[in-house]
């Protein structure tokens, strides 16, 4: 039995679909289970729980021998803080897994995670990784770059802005690089790690075949939509002021912590990923063909 946290999310639903298709018994953990059946995901046992509530994890872990932990947030809202979700939440889950006799723990972190990172997001992700490394469980940690796919919040959010505006906004000079990776390539690595003992105790950085600047990403989306847009660079000082105001909204589209990360390259050497899991990742431009960006 595999417990997948965050099973109703973008990556979680894709992973559940793959695991079920490969014959695994899967149980999903989600804070909100309503609406899960509406997604194109095989029926699985799903339980309500919150990694910030240790008591809710005990029953979810009964009979489980593998945990795949996907829960993460990009924006702090209410009681969901980076520290609470990415650090303490992981500690809670690790402790509950130890008590339940779980043998395997597969953890999704994020590319750019490191000690003394400038962003609170990456700082909290590092603390979560440390909890996994020190757990005594047989673990594998994955650090993906930006994950893209038809249900993502990255490409679709950018496409929405492009669709309704004559300009395509560029953050700063647009030279910061990222290495977008297809969601199905990410879940392939997770699924394959369950079969490969060489992945135990390892950390893998996941990235697509190309390192693209933010300007190149925007250009690829504009091209896929068949549109013509003026690319306008927005200076970071202006964006900082805008983000400070937007953070007062219940669901801010931009935060100052995100701007910190936007100024950094988010790239990796993906040779270890390709060698271990034996495939060539799909390109960003090719993946855009599966979107319906012109609608």
Mean pLDDT confidence for 185-203: 97
- Cα–Cα distance, 253 to 42 (Å, whole number): 31
In sequence order, what E strands does the chain have?
A: 2-5, 26-30, 45-48, 66-69, 104-108, 138-144, 147-148, 167-171, 177-178, 181-182, 202-206, 212-213, 230-234
Q: Show Cβ contacts of residue 93 under 8 Å, excluding neighbours closer than 6 positions.
A: 5, 51, 57, 67, 69
For residue range 67-88, what is the model confidence (pLDDT) as tens digits? 999 999 999 988 899 999 999 9
Q: For residue 66, how many C-alpha atoms fall within 13 Å in the half-sphere facing its CB?
A: 17
Torsion of CA 239, 249, 165, 286, to 10 degrees: 80
Report all structural domains of the chain as residue ranges with CATH numbers, in order of start.
Answer: 2-147+181-209+267-282 (3.40.50.720)
For residue range 134-185, what is the model confidence (pLDDT) as tens digits? 999 999 999 999 999 998 999 999 999 999 999 999 999 999 999 999 999 9
pLDDT at 289: 87
- Averaged confidence pLDDT in the chain: 94
- Cα–Cα distance, 183 to 14 (Å, whole number): 7
Three-state SS at 139? strand
Number of H helices and number of E strands within the chain? 11, 13
- Cα–Cα distance, 3 to 22 (Å, whole number): 15
- Reference 59, options 29, 80, 84; nearest CA is 29
The structure's pTM equals 0.94
Torsion of CA 139, 15, 121, 176, to 10 degrees: 110
User: Residue written as tokens 């979680």?
Assistant: 12
Whether 28 contacts 69, CB under 8 Å: no
Q: Give percent above pLDDT 90 in the chain.
A: 87
- Let me know how long the chain is: 295
Asked whether residue 198 carries a pLDDT value surpassing 70, the answer given is yes
């Amino acid at each position: 039995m595999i417990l997948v946290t965050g099973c109703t999310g973008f990556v979680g639903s894709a992973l559940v679909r793959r695991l079920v298709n490969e014959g695994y018994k899967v149980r999903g953990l989600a804070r909100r289970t309503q609406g899960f059946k509406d997604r194109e995901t095989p029926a699985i046992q799903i339980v309500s729980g919150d990694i910030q509530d240790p008591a809710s994890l005990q029953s979810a872990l009964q009979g489980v021998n593998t945990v795949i932990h996907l829960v993460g947030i990009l924006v702090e809202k209410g009681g969901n803080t980076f520290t609470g979700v990415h650090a303490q939440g992981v500690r809670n889950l690790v402790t509950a897994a130890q008590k339940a006799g779980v043998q395997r723990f597969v953890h999704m972190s994020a590319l750019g995670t490191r000690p003394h990172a400038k962003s609170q997001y990456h700082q909290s992700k590092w603390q979560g990784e440390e909890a996994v490394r020190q757990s005594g469980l047989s673990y594998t940690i994955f650090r993906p770059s930006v994950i893209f796919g038809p249900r993502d919040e990255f490409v679709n959010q950018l496409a929405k802005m492009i669709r309704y505006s004559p300009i395509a906004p560029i953050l700063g000079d647009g030279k910061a690089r990222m290495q977008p990776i297809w969601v199905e390539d990410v879940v392939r690595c997770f699924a394959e790690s369950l079969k490969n003992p060489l992945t135990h105790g390892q950390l893998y950085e996941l990235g697509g075949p190309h390192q693209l600047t933010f300007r190149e990403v925007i250009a690829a989306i504009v091209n896929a939509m068949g549109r013509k847009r003026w690319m306008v660079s927005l200076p970071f000082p202006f964006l900082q002021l805008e983000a400070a105001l937007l953070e007062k909204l219940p669901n801010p589209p931009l935060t100052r912590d995100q701007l910190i990360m936007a100024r950094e390259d988010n790239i990796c050497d993906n040779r270890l990923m390709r060698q271990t899991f034996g495939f060539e990742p799909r390109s960003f431009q090719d993946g855009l063909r599966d979107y319906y960006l012109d609608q």
